[in-house]
A and B are shown apart, each in its own frame.
Chain A
Amino acid sequence: MLFRIKEHPVLEIPEVRKFNIFYNGEPLEAYEGETVAATLLAHGVKAFRRTERFHEPRGIFCGIGQCTDCIMEVDGKPNVRTCVTLVHPGMVVRTQEGCSGENEAKHDNL
Chain B
Amino acid sequence: MITYDVVVVGAGPAGLSASIEAAKSGCSVLLLDENPRPGGQLYKQIHKFFGMKEHYAGSRGFEIADLLFARAGEAGVKVSLNTKVWGIFPDGSITASGPEGSIRYKASLIILATGASENALSFPGSTLPGIITAGAAQTFANVYHVLPGKEIVMVGSGNVGLIVSYQLMQAGADVKMIVEAMPEVSGYLVHAGKVRRMGVPILLSHTIVRAVGTDHLEAVDIAELDEKMQPVPGKTERVPCDTVCISVGFSPRLDLADVGKCRIVYEPVLGGMLPWHNENMQTSMDRILIAGDLSGVEEASTALDEGRMAGTYAAYKLGRMKKEEFETEKAAIMKRLDILRSGPFGSRRKEAKKSVWEDRNFGT
Contact = CB atoms under 8 A, between A and B. Distances in A.
Interface of A: 3-5, 7-11, 13, 31, 34-35, 37-38, 41-42, 46-48, 56-67, 69, 83-84, 86
Contacts of B141: 5
Contacts of B147: 3-5, 41
Given A47-B215, A62-B117, A86 B127 contact: no
Interface of B: 34-36, 41, 46, 60, 117-118, 120, 127-133, 135-137, 139-142, 144-150, 170-172, 215-217, 253
B129 A48 contact: yes
A10 B46 contact: yes
Contact of A63 (B135, B150, B172): B135
A10 B170 contact: yes
Contact of A60 (B120, B136, B142): B136
B145 A61 contact: no
Q: Which of B130, B137, B253 has the most CB of A within 10 A?
A: B130
Given A57-B215, A59-B129, 17 more contacts: A3-B146, A3-B148, A5-B171, A8-B170, A34-B144, A34-B146, A41-B147, A46-B217, A47-B129, A48-B129, A62-B117, A62-B133, A63-B133, A64-B35, A64-B41, A66-B117, A84-B36
Given A4-B146, A5-B172, A11-B142, A60 B129 contact: yes
Q: 8 tightest A-B contacts by CB?
A: A63-B136, A59-B129, A46-B216, A38-B144, A46-B129, A5-B145, A63-B139, A42-B146
Nearest to B46: A10
A46 B128 CA distance: 9
Contacts of A59: 129-130, 132, 216
Residue from A7, A31, A65, A66 whose CB has the most chain B CB atoms within 10 Å: A66
B215 A46 contact: yes
A88 B299 CA distance: 35
Given A8-B145, A9-B170, A66-B117, A61 B216 contact: no
18 contacts: A3-B146, A3-B149, A4-B146, A5-B172, A8-B145, A8-B171, A10-B46, A11-B46, A31-B144, A34-B144, A37-B140, A42-B146, A46-B130, A57-B128, A59-B132, A63-B135, A64-B136, A84-B35
Nearest to B133: A62
A42, A47, A61, A69 — most chain B CB neighbours (10 Å): A61
A37 B120 CA distance: 20
Nearest to B167: A10
A81 to B, nearest CB: 11
Nearest to A66: B117
Contacts of A5: 141, 145-147, 171-172
B173 to A, nearest CB: 9
A35 to B, nearest CB: 7
Contacts of B148: 3, 41, 60
A58 B149 CA distance: 16
A41 B137 CA distance: 11
Contacts of B142: 11
Contacts of A61: 120, 131-133, 136
Contacts of A65: 34-35
B210 to A, nearest CB: 15
Nearest to B138: A63
A57 B216 contact: yes
A45 B117 CA distance: 25
A61 B41 CA distance: 16
Given A61-B120, A64-B139, A41 B146 contact: yes
A69 to B, nearest CB: 8
Nearest to B172: A5
Contact of A38 (B120, B146, B216): B146
A10 B167 CA distance: 10
Contacts of A46: 129-130, 215-217
Contact of B140 (A63, A67, A69): A63
A60 B243 CA distance: 11
Contacts of B127: 56, 58, 69
A61 B245 CA distance: 9
Contacts of A34: 144, 146
Given A10-B46, A38-B140, A84-B35, A4 B129 contact: no
